[in-house]
A and B are shown apart, each in its own frame.
Chain A
Amino acid sequence: MADLTPNVTPMRTAAENQLLALFPSVKARLPGASAERQQAYDAFAQAGLPHRRVEAWKYTDLRAVLREAAPLADVPSAALLGEVRAKPSPFAGLGPSLVIVDGVFEPSLSDLDALPAGVEALGLAGALGAAQPVANLGEAAVADDAVLALNAAFMTDGVVLRVAAGSKVETPVFVRFVRTGGEPRSTYTRVLVVVGEGASLTLGESREGPAGVAHQDNAVLEIVAGDRATVSHVVLNTEGRGSIDLSTVGVKLGAKCLFNTFALATAPALSRRQIFVHFAGENSKISLNGGALLNGRQHADTTLVVNHAVPHCESRELYKHVLDGESTGVFQGKIIVQPYAQKTDGQMMSQAVLLGDNATMNNKPELEIFADDVVCAHGATCGQLDDDLLFYLRARGLPKPDAEALMLQAFVGQALETIEDESIRGVLESVVEGWLKARM
């Protein structure tokens, strides 16, 4: 019987072949030791691009979507840098920013001098090139994932941000990822944030780029937080329509940490945001939140893996999807409670409103529990706007588009409220309002 069982080895797609061919050709000019890159490359060569048979990628078939792997982005020219300088950051005026243009950290555009006390930043490429290995790199982003492996193989540059122990940083620090050029190019960046014991940091990320260019970005953010550290993190993705945005966040928390993250996606053609949280110390609390406002044929995927490896930790997740046109929203959340991780408290909620007749929402909230003294719950809903509520608003004189916008604003607002920094929240709220206005 065994002899008759066909041994299926899928054919490599064009994109896979391009990626495999790319590595040997660029290997020499990638910074840092090549042994680890080679290892990651081999892991990718083994696995190939994730496809729907890979459970974690069930709803985002990258193998089918990624038809061509774009070549690595060129080092930006002085003229391009000038253009970027002229473009204001969506978070302008809220705090110093570190700028990464086409995958290259640009100190000349960054406000290195304006960094708050206790915060130290340097380029990743430089750090990788130094004799000493970069401390904490690869500590938080650990997963058996082909996209993460690709990043480890190809990462060109990024930022290493360290907050000294005990530094309570009031001013938020921003990292801008700016894309330029009219031809699709790919970038592989990595940002490492190490927050020392008892320190606190608010980190804002913005992704900006030209509309209509199918840029491909593979970004990894690693956050390593010492005991009693507080980290708030916000991502705003307004990168031009057409791009493919793969982002992985790895978080490792010590004891008594607070971690809060929010991501808003409105622009990319395809976005996949995967967050891996590992609790290494007791009594930590996390709150993972996000929203996606999609139309056309956009596809947004949020995949969370929250690993409760120690007792007495708390996790909260709230995600909101608004899906218009033929867009697709994906939410996969997995809460793992390891044996002995008693007194774990985990609550997860994913809600979606489908506006378009051909919109799709796929929810997979998972619980994997090996300890008994826990309180875990998840909820998932999807539906359309409530006719009764709509009628109520229209009966009070609001035109239908306004009534819908109001309801959607309230719907997404619930998640936006989790952003602690008011000024950052204001920026995101205005992006949501802009999206709703454009729809009316």
Chain B
Amino acid sequence: MPAVQETVEQVRSIDVDQYKYGFITDIEMDKAPKGLNEDIVRFISAKKGDPAWMTEWRLDAYRRWLTMQEPTWARVEYPKIDFNDLYYYAAPKKKEGPKSLDEIDPAILETYKKLGIPLREQEMLAGVQNTRVAVDAVFDSVSVVTTFKDELKKAGVIFCSISEAIREHPELVRQYLGTVVPVTDNFYATLNSAVFTDGSFVYVPPGVRCPMELSTYFRINEKDTGQFERTLIIADKGSYVSYLEGCTAPQRDENQLHAAVVELIALDDAEIKYSTVQNWYPGDAQGKGGVYNFVTKRGDCRGANSKISWTQVETGSAITWKYPSCILRGDNSRGEFYSIAVSNGYQQVDSGTKMIHLGKNTSSRIISKGISAGRSQNTYRGLVSAHRKATGARNFTNCDSLLIGDQCGAHTVPYIESKNASAIFEHEATTSKISEDQLFYCLQRGLSAEEATALIVNGFVKDVLQQLPMEFAVEAQKLISISLEGSVG
């Protein structure tokens, strides 16, 4: 059975066990001592060059965090995290990585090749030393970066790291930071507020359509943003911005715990499109290790006629706990959530969204596609609610789950709460396995079981892929096929 053999090899080639090759972490780093206390918070604040108000903000968050308890309601299981046994600050600058691509495990390079990633970018992703130069070469050195910065500047768009924004644009940061995800929103958001080390800041001035898709991918200087990322995006009146987070290649990452916070604010007539492709280390074949991804993402359609759209492709992380939400405050505002969550091995995904309708004639749309294979657990958990005054609210929700193999689980936990008679909510969910008939049809036409599954799965997730920016969509499609390799046959 050559097809089976090929499958086995392909799976072996992307075997998560092999990620650790070539990644040496025992090196001199600019690290804070283990554990968390007020001194560590002050240390991080000082390292980041925070103004006094920011230090206070962090300390306040830390003190509140001490009184909070870890949430236990999600369908995820993991050993208790000892928050005093973690490093909260590690400067990434002096990192010692492989010297060149020759030192990287060929299996990983194979995966990159499958994804069609250019050589230089591969170097950057694999963490090869002196990547700065390499990547600059990809983007034609400093000149491109400068052109790109110039272009943004000409448009008036501010795109920088959050630490820089705290220093350079304190008035904007103070006005908006923590207004969508309050400091005490939840256990992990509060922790993030105390110790966040980096992240992006975007401000698009009134009436400006951001001339390019913004991406963390471009911000080379911030490639290792660390465990506690904080992103704040503000689209002022009538503006538009599209932001891409993450990348499709398997990224090396030693951090066990990621607790990021993303806040989006759309004022009158503004639109924000936020796309994520997440492919962190999912743990080894026995389910050991892997990234815990506990993220709080929320958008606030603060102005009338504003729109926020979340698109996510989740294939990595051992545990994903993430609910990108929209608060539809402005009249006629619109929220969208498109999600593909693929879980394999021992991965656990508990993800979904919240659409909170507060303004009049607000509308929202949720399309969630969960695919579970191996021994993974995949949960959609979502809330759609209409406030008393949300006259004319409209929601359509569709969450479908696909099961591959009899060891995995797929769960749906939607909450639909309507307090307004004129609100119209529709929710539908289905769970099934890949249709035998469809598989048979494909096999009959000469496709292997693997190819047939990939084809059917891609059809299953098509609605969401269409929402991704073009280049992302192509990579995401390949990524899904790779993630599911070894799950059939």
Closest to A331 in B: B416
- With known contacts A373-B433, A379-B427, A354–B418 Cβ distance under 8 A: yes
Q: Is the CB of B414 within 8 A of A368?
A: no
Q: Is the CB of A382 within 8 A of B424?
A: yes
Distance, CA A366 to CA B403, complexed state (A): 16
Q: Is the CB of B410 within 8 A of A5?
A: no
- With known contacts A363-B427, A380-B416, A374–B422 Cβ distance under 8 A: no
Give B386 Cβ to nearest chain A Cβ, in Å: 9
Q: Tell me the residues in window 411-437 of chain B with beta carbons closer than 8 Å to chain A beta carbons.
A: 411-433
Distance, CA A191 to CA B420, complexed state (A): 39
B409 an interface residue at 8 Å Cβ cutoff? yes
A142 an interface residue at 8 Å Cβ cutoff? no
Q: Tell me the residues in window 353-369 of chain A with beta carbons closer than 8 Å to chain B beta carbons.
A: 354-369
Distance, CA A369 to CA B410, complexed state (A): 5
Q: Mark A145-181, 1 if CB is under 8 A from B, else 0.
A: 0000000000000000000000000000000000000
Distance, CA A6 to CA B405, complexed state (A): 43
Give B353 Cβ to nearest chain A Cβ, in Å: 15
Q: Is the CB of A5 within 8 A of B414?
A: no
Query: How many residues in A have their beta carbons less than 8 Å from beta carbons of B?
Result: 40
Q: Is the CB of A381 within 8 A of B425?
A: yes
Q: Which residues on A sit within 8 Å (CB–CB) of B425? A: 363, 380-383
Q: Is the CB of A356 within 8 A of B408?
A: no
Q: Mark B395-408, 1 if CB is under 8 A from A, else 0.
A: 00000010111111
- With known contacts A1-B83, A357-B420, A373-B406, A363–B428 Cβ distance under 8 A: no
Q: Which residues on B sit within 8 Å (CB–CB) of A370? A: 408-409
A375 an interface residue at 8 Å Cβ cutoff? yes
B69 an interface residue at 8 Å Cβ cutoff? yes
Closest to B83 in A: A1
B84 an interface residue at 8 Å Cβ cutoff? yes
Distance, CA A360 to CA B411, complexed state (A): 26
Distance, CA A416 to CA B409, complexed state (A): 34
How many A-B residue pairs have C-beta atoms within 8 angstroms? Tell me: 125
Q: When the two chains form the complex, which single residue of A4, A372, A380 contacts B408, counting CB atoms closer than 8 Å?
A: A372
Q: Tell me the residues in window 196-230 of chain A with beta carbons closer than 8 Å to chain B beta carbons.
A: none
B73 an interface residue at 8 Å Cβ cutoff? yes
Q: Is the CB of B418 within 8 A of A361?
A: yes
Closest to A347 in B: B430
- With known contacts A369-B403, A380-B427, A364–B414 Cβ distance under 8 A: yes
A376 an interface residue at 8 Å Cβ cutoff? yes
- With known contacts A376-B431, A384-B421, A366–B406 Cβ distance under 8 A: no
Distance, CA A1 to CA B417, complexed state (A): 36
Q: Which residues on B sit within 8 Å (CB–CB) of A376? A: 430-432
Distance, CA A341 to CA B420, complexed state (A): 39
Q: Is the CB of A374 within 8 A of B403?
A: yes
Give B414 Cβ to nearest chain A Cβ, in Å: 6
Q: Is the CB of B416 within 8 A of A378?
A: no
A371 an interface residue at 8 Å Cβ cutoff? yes
Give B438 Cβ to nearest chain A Cβ, in Å: 14
- With known contacts A366-B412, A374-B431, A381-B425, A360–B418 Cβ distance under 8 A: yes
Distance, CA A204 to CA B49, complexed state (A): 74
Distance, CA A374 to CA B429, complexed state (A): 13
Distance, CA A356 to CA B429, complexed state (A): 28
Q: Is the CB of B84 within 8 A of A1?
A: yes
Q: Is the CB of B410 within 8 A of A367?
A: yes
Q: Which residues on B sit within 8 Å (CB–CB) of A359? A: 419, 421
Distance, CA A6 to CA B69, complexed state (A): 9
Q: Is the CB of B405 within 8 A of A360?
A: no
Q: Is the CB of B429 within 8 A of A365?
A: yes
Q: When the two chains form the complex, which single residue of A364, A372, A377, A381 contacts B426, counting CB atoms closer than 8 Å?
A: A381
Closest to A339 in B: B406
Q: Which residues on A sit within 8 Å (CB–CB) of B91? A: none
Distance, CA A359 to CA B386, complexed state (A): 11
Query: How many residues in B have their beta carbons less than 8 Å from beta carbons of A?
Result: 40
Give A331 Cβ to nearest chain B Cβ, in Å: 9
Q: When the two chains form the complex, which single residue of B407, B415, B431 contacts A369, counting CB atoms closer than 8 Å?
A: B431
- With known contacts A5-B69, A367-B412, A373-B406, A354–B421 Cβ distance under 8 A: yes
B94 an interface residue at 8 Å Cβ cutoff? no
A144 an interface residue at 8 Å Cβ cutoff? no
Q: Is the CB of B423 within 8 A of A382?
A: yes
B147 an interface residue at 8 Å Cβ cutoff? no
Q: Which residues on A sit within 8 Å (CB–CB) of B420? A: 354, 357
Q: Which residues on B sit within 8 Å (CB–CB) of A289? A: none
Give A189 Cβ to nearest chain B Cβ, in Å: 33
Q: Is the CB of B66 within 8 A of A4?
A: yes
Q: When the two chains form the complex, which single residue of B411, B423, B433 contacts A383, counting CB atoms closer than 8 Å?
A: B423
Q: Is the CB of B427 within 8 A of A377?
A: no
Distance, CA A363 to CA B414, complexed state (A): 8
Q: When the two chains form the complex, which single residue of A352, A364, A372 contacts B406, counting CB atoms closer than 8 Å?
A: A372
Q: Tell me the residues in window 166-197 of chain B with beta carbons closer than 8 Å to chain A beta carbons.
A: none
Give B66 Cβ to nearest chain A Cβ, in Å: 5
Q: When the two chains form the complex, which single residue of A354, A362, A372, A378 contacts B429, counting CB atoms closer than 8 Å?
A: A378
Give A249 Cβ to nearest chain B Cβ, in Å: 23
Q: Mark B68-100, 1 if CB is under 8 A from A, else 0.
A: 110001000000000110000000000000000
Give B95 Cβ to nearest chain A Cβ, in Å: 30
The interface centre, meaning the residue of B67, B73, B405, B417 with most chain A CB atoms within 10 A of its CB, is B417
Q: Is the CB of A372 within 8 A of B415?
A: no
Q: Which residues on A sit within 8 Å (CB–CB) of B432? A: 374-376
Q: Which residues on A sit within 8 Å (CB–CB) of B408? A: 370, 372
Q: Which residues on B sit within 8 Å (CB–CB) of A362? A: 415-418
Q: Is the CB of A382 within 8 A of B416?
A: yes
Give B477 Cβ to nearest chain A Cβ, in Å: 23
The interface centre, meaning the residue of B73, B401, B416, B430 with most chain A CB atoms within 10 A of its CB, is B416
Q: When the two chains form the complex, which single residue of A1, A354, A357, A364 contacts B415, counting CB atoms closer than 8 Å?
A: A364
Q: Which residues on B sit within 8 Å (CB–CB) of A307? A: none
- Contacts A/B (CB < 8 Å), 22 sampled: A5-B66, A6-B67, A339-B406, A342-B406, A352-B418, A357-B420, A358-B419, A361-B418, A363-B415, A367-B412, A367-B431, A370-B409, A372-B406, A374-B403, A375-B430, A375-B432, A376-B432, A377-B431, A381-B425, A381-B426, A381-B427, A382-B423
- 5 tightest A-B CB contacts, nearest first: A383-B424, A372-B403, A354-B421, A363-B416, A367-B412
Please give the residue numbers on chain A whose beta carbons come within 8 Å of chain B beta carbons, in ascending order: 1, 4-6, 55, 339-340, 342, 352, 354-384
Apart from A371-B403, A375-B432, A380-B414, what are 11 other A-B pairs with CB-CB below 8 Å? A1-B66, A358-B388, A360-B417, A365-B429, A366-B413, A367-B429, A373-B406, A377-B428, A380-B425, A381-B424, A383-B424
